Structures are given as C-alpha cells and as structure tokens.
C-alpha cells in the first residue's frame, strides 16, 4: 500500500479557479428550468460631472434590430441576432455563434434626463450619452466629522 500525501491547498486552489471562472463568464440562465445559456453584451459605464456614458458591445446586430428604452434610473436594451446559416446537401454545419434574443437592464447610479439621450452605433459598439438632471449635477453631500 502506497502512502499519498494530502495537500489541502490544492483543493482550495481548484475551488478558487472554479469560482473565478463563474464570475468571468458573461452567460446567464435564460430560464429557471431551461439549461441553455444566453449571452449578454458586455457593458462599460463611465460617469462624468454632466452625464453617464454607456458603451455596449453588440457585434453582428443591425441598428434596426435594437430596442433601447431609457428611464430616469435605468437603460433597457433588447435585440435579436438572427441566424443566416446555410447547410449543404450532404454536409453538416457546426456553429459557435450565438443566435437569439437577449434583454439587459442596466441600473444607473444617477438620475438622468431621459428625453435628451444621444446614441451612436458603429462597428458593433453602442455609445449612449445620458445627461444628468440638474438636481444631480448640483448635488453636494456634506460630510460631518
């Protein structure tokens, strides 16, 4: 019988790698009982004194297929990427592209003027400029010591 040395740190390292991979993935379940996953677009938020800037990565989606709705405290984006695969008579087609619908709601940290939002969509990147309300621009918080 051979003796095997047990290293508890190896198990902790394995667990840490598994947890990190969960947080790195941008897939979310599409339903409670559905085992399929849908891909959500990567987003980048930047806040300035006057506005909130939102960038979304939406490759392969036409601007006419985007549905963008902006409220005072959130941005709702939905779209559908349609499949255009053509199969040959005797061949099989394997694809790793994602086709289907997605919806994403991005909460905002400041109230915005949703009537003055500007949008630009170029090369699969959506740029939204969301101007802040006057109350948010002039908001000063006093800290007492």
Q: pTM for this one?
A: 0.62
CA triple 102-37-97, angle to 5 deg: 75
Q: What is the pLDDT of residues 81-90, one digit of tens each?
A: 776 666 665 6
Contacts of 92 (CB under 8 A, 6+ apart): none
φ, ψ at 23 (rounded to 5°): -80, -20
Helix/strand/coil for 13: helix
Give the pLDDT of residue 100. Answer: 78
Helix/strand/coil for 125: strand
Is residue 129 within 8 Å of 118, Cβ to Cβ?
Answer: yes
Q: Using 50 as the pLDDT threshold, list the residues of the chain that sit under it.
A: 30-36
Q: What is the pLDDT of residues 56-85, one digit of tens each?
A: 998 888 888 899 999 888 899 998 877 666
Contacts of 55 (CB under 8 A, 6+ apart): 43, 44, 46, 125, 126, 127, 128
Q: How far apart are CA 25 and CA 56, in angstroms?
A: 16
């Amino acid at each position: 019988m051979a003796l095997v040395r047990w290293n508890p740190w190896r198990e902790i390292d394995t667990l840490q790698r598994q947890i990190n991979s969960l947080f790195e993935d941008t897939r979310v379940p599409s339903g409670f009982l559905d085992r399929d996953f849908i891909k959500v677009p990567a987003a980048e938020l930047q806040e300035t004194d006057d506005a909130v800037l939102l960038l979304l990565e939406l490759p392969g989606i036409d601007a006419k297929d985007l549905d963008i709705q902006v409220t005072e405290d959130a941005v709702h984006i939905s779209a559908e990427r349609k499949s255009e695969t053509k199969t040959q008579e005797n061949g099989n087609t394997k694809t790793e592209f994602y086709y289907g619908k997605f919806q994403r709601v991005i909460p905002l940290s400041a109230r915005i003027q949703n009537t003055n939002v500007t949008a630009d969509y170029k090369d699969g990147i959506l740029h939204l400029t969301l101007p802040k309300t006057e109350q948010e621009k002039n908001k000063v918080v006093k800290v007492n010591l």
